Amino acid sequence: MAYYEHTIVGKQDLSDKEMQSLIDKYSKIIDKSGKILKTEKWGLLNLANKIKKNKKGNFVHFKIEIEGKLVKEIEKQLSIDTNVIRYLTVKYDKIDLKNEFFGSKK
């Protein structure tokens, strides 16, 4: 298993309930054969450029330990999810669980 940081950017008009269901959906996929080390809700942030007509995005950041083949499954699901405008997955040798860059709510 490897360490990853996975960030999801949801549409700006998602309610808190819809955003939480999005987080729960992908948390369940990750929990199938991996482990979520930390979840950070960064909230609604401005985007540098418009993405799919959105000026802002709801950011959620996961720090996870998971197998590489499951990352492809998660990214496949994200690419067809209409509530997600962008996502990014980065592999790390070791994860920093102490620092929070945008102040976590969870």
Strand partners, 43: 59
The answer to which of 7-16, 49-58, 91-100 has the lowest mean pLDDT is: 91-100
pLDDT of residue 32: 85
Question: Mind listing the pLDDT tens digit for each residue in 25-51?
Answer: 999 988 888 899 999 999 999 999 999
Alpha-carbon span 83 to 8, nearest angstrom = 10
Full 3-state SS string of the chain: CEEEEEEEEECCCCCHHHHHHHHHHHHHHHHHHCEEEEEEEEEEEEEEEEECCEEEEEEEEEEEEECHHHHHHHHHHHHHCCCEEEEEEEEECCCCCCCCCCCCCC
Q: Which CATH class is domain 2-92?
A: alpha beta
pTM of the model: 0.85
Q: Does 9 have pLDDT greater than 80?
A: yes
